[in-house]
Amino acid sequence: MSTDNSAIAFIGGGNMASAIIGGLIRTGLPASQIEVVEPWDEARTRLHSQFGVAAQAQAGSSLARCGLVVWAVKPQTFRDAAAPVRAHAANALHLSVAAGIRSDSIAQWLGTQRIVRSMPNTPALVGKGMTALFARNAVTASDKARVEQVIATTGQYLWVSAEEQLDAVTALSGSGPAYVFFFLEAMTAAGVEMGLTREQAHQLAVGTFVGASELARASDEPPEVLRQRVTSKGGTTYAAITSMEHDGVNALFIKALHAARQRARELGDEFGG
């Protein structure tokens, strides 16, 4: 079967695959140009119902038409999933969104060097994702452009020059949404303790994060300066920031990100080839 560069296969049909598929369809790719390999019946039914895409339980010869294969599997299942796909995707470009799995391992399992490894995050589900990308040397400029076209449907992206940087990306932006949710939980709980309803506290906390993020994006000044501008000595913000500094929140937060990076490295060691 000849390769159709516009056709895309997804190995795995979970949340990240759904985010990318949804973005592709919204931007005009026909559902007939998308194939999904997903072992779970319920997931296949959902994908077909939601997007109209063809979903199969096992990799088959129809994958040979796909010019791009997106690997949206869990790290611990990647190696086993690669074996049946390899025979049908020898000429494809491969894009991995699996956390921690290094491109050396992927190249070994798939028998190709045309591999782009990425680290997306869950805001991709609403088109606000942040994805970092790393390309092996065999990936051409046109390959990169193809990947950019796909990832852009889920939000922003950037390229890193060294693969080990993806471990830091995983800690910062890959896991980052959970940190935001963690602080949203704390701010909401504090609001309730101080007499607001949970709905009011949640709305205020979320709105504050969204607004502050947009301000940071629009400003040429670093976050430190933006923070200082709203932290008048002796004021309410000063009291809160001083309390957090006294308790070492900054150092603890940085320590937490280092722990996440270390775990990303361990995943590569545990599940790599």
> ∠ CA(130), CA(24), CA(89), 5° rounding?
95
Q: Using one digit for the tens of pLDDT, what is the confidence trace for 38-81?
A: 999 999 999 999 999 989 999 999 999 999 999 999 999 999 99
70 vs 1, which has greater pLDDT? 70
pLDDT digits (tens, 9 = 90+) for 193-211: 999 999 999 999 999 999 9
Record: fold of 4-169:
Rossmann fold (3.40.50)
Cα–Cα dist 22/133, whole Å: 20
Where do the domains of the chain lie? 4-169, 176-267
Percentage of the chain surpassing pLDDT 90? 93
Query: How many beta carbons lie within 10 A of that of residue 4, not counting itself?
Result: 13
Do 163 and 53 meet the contact criterion of CB atoms below 8 Å apart?
Answer: no
Question: Which CATH number fits the domain 176-267, given the four candidates 1.10.600.10, 1.10.3730.10, 3.40.630.30, 3.30.420.40?
Answer: 1.10.3730.10
pLDDT at 239 over 90: yes
231-254 mean pLDDT: 98
pLDDT in tens, 115-172: 999 999 999 999 999 999 999 999 999 999 999 999 999 999 999 999 999 999 999 9
Return the H-helix or E-strand segment holding 139. Answer: none
Predicted local distance difference test score (pLDDT) of residue 6: 85
Pairing of strands 34-37, 4-11: parallel
Put simply, whether the predicted model's pTM sits higher than 0.75 gets the answer: yes
What DSSP string describes 48-74?
A: HHHH--EEESS--GGGGGEEEEEE---
Q: What is the mean pLDDT of the chain?
A: 95
Alpha helices for 133-175 (secondary structure H):
141-151, 165-169
Rounded average pLDDT over 172-191: 98
User: Is the confidence at residue 2, as pLDDT, over 60?
Assistant: no
Which among 109, 100, 42 has a CA at the least distance from the CA of 81?
109
Identify the pLDDT of residue 1. 47
